Structures are given as structure tokens and as C-alpha cells.
Amino acid sequence: MKKIISLEEAAKLVKDDMTIMVGGFLGVGSPEKILKELIKNNVKNLTLIANDTSFPGQDYGDLVVHKMVKKVIVSHIGTNKETGNQMHSKELEVVLVPQGTLAEQIRAYGAGLGAVITPTGIGTVVEEGKEILEVDGKRYIVEKPLRADIALIRASKADKNGNLIYDKSARNFNPIMAMAADIVIVEADEIVEVGELDPNFVMTPHIFVDYIVGDDK
């Protein structure tokens, strides 16, 4: 299967009403070029799973600004005032999840787990409406795995098979999201020939990657 595709082809894979995961931490490690192309297509009613909603005018923050998103599942929204505005006007559903729990819910889907249990949020509004499990006298919230139709992630290097290396903190949510979506699209800063990457530094194996977008078309 041809893995290297154009920006236009990548963006067209995202359709109305899909659930998408977007890698990055306040934009660090997010696939900026794909997101800009996606905004041109004016896709609607997306559910966005990400660490945050970034900033207005930047990467996935602009998906909110352009009202392409109906629901976000994130750990915070404080850096994007438009997210708060749309939440208060009831145009956007916001689900806030503790950051570690969010990461583990994504990781759980990739690992084939039925749920994760966590003490984080016990005794707060986080536990409202959720199943509680008691283990050895301690209460835990049962959190279900998170999956997406498409994950849009960013790598510093990819070989033509789709083995990926991330740059420093840009690895944040990218590796786990690559394991939790039906289709994984990677924006690569550099594409190299198979065999050029040191396997000791590969963080996402090619088996998880469906498509690669980069300067090498």
C-alpha cells in the first residue's frame, strides 16, 4: 500500500462527524500543515480528543475557532478563550479529563484493555455518573478507553514504511494516539529510506501507521 500521500489527500480522509485525535501539547508536536489543510475543507461536527485546545490562530485551536468541532475531550481549555465562549453558549460540548487519566484512556485502547481504574478524581465532580470500583478497601473510578476514527500526529523523522521518531517533548501524546485510531496519518518533518533510522530510536513501529505526509511526495 502506498503510504506517502499529499496534504490534500490526507485532509480529505477526515469527514464530517468523525472522532479525531490530534497529537501535541499546546501545539508542540502537532501536525500543523495537515490541520491548516483540514480547515480549508471546512469539515463539521468533529469530536476532538487532544491534551488541550491549544491557542486561537494556532494548529488544532483553529478547529474550534472555525466551529468545526462539536465536542472536545481534553485536559484543559484555558489557553483558548474561544473554547470557553462556545462552551458557555452551548455550541460546544467540553469534557474535561485529568491529564494522566486522559493519556491512560488513550493508551488503554491501544493495549486492548477494557478500562483503566484510577483514584484521581475520587471525591470530586470527576466521579459523578461513573462506575466506582473498590479494591482492597480503596475506591477507584473506572475510565473507559478512548479511540478515534483518525489520529493526526507529528514525527520529526519517518522512513517510507512508517517507522517514526519524535523530537524531544513532541513525543507527548503522539505515540499513544498512533495506537488508538482506525487510521493514523503522520506529518513528517523528514522522510528517509527504509533502513536509515536506528531501530533503537524508533518510537512508533510502522505497523501502526497508515499514511505519511511530508516534503517527500
What mean pLDDT comes out for the span 64-74?
96
Give residue for cell 517514526. 164
Q: What is the pLDDT of residue 50?
A: 97
Single-letter residue type at 8: E
Cα–Cα distance for residue pair 217/213, rounded to 1 Å:
7
Least confident of 26-30, 82-86, 149-153, 199-203: 26-30
**Alpha helices per DSSP H over 112-187:** 174-177
Residue 57 has a pLDDT of 84
* Domain containing residue 181: 7-115+146-213
Q: Is 179 helix (H, G, I), strand (E, B) or coil?
A: coil
Percentage of the chain beyond pLDDT 90 is 89
Query: Would you say residue 78 lies in a domain?
Result: yes
Residue 40 lies in a domain: yes
Answer whether residue 209 shows pLDDT above 50: yes
* Average pLDDT estimate for 114-120: 96
Does a structural domain hold residue 173? yes
Is the CB of residue 87 less than 8 Å from the CB of residue 77? Answer: yes
pLDDT tens by residue, 166-195: 999 888 999 999 999 999 999 999 999 999
pTM for the structure as a whole: 0.93
What is the rounded CA–CA span in Å between residue 210 and residue 52? 25
CATH of the domain at 95: 3.40.1080.10
pLDDT attached to residue 1: 63
User: Is 139 inside any structural domain?
Assistant: no
The count of domains in the chain is 1
Structure confidence at residue 96 as a pLDDT band (50, 70, 90): very high
**Sign of the torsion angle spanned by Cα atoms 158, 163, 169, 174:** positive
Q: What is the largest CA-CA distance in the chain?
A: 57
pLDDT at 217: 43
In a domain, 128, yes or no: no
Residue 15 clears pLDDT 90, i.e. is over it: yes
Residue 127 is assigned to a structural domain of this protein: no
The pLDDT value given to residue 216: 46
Whether 14 is covered by a domain: the verdict is: yes
The answer to whether residue 45 is domain-embedded is: yes
Mean of the pLDDT values across residues 63-81?
95
Where does the pLDDT of residue 131 fall: very low under 50, low under 70, confident under 90, or very high at 90 and above? very high
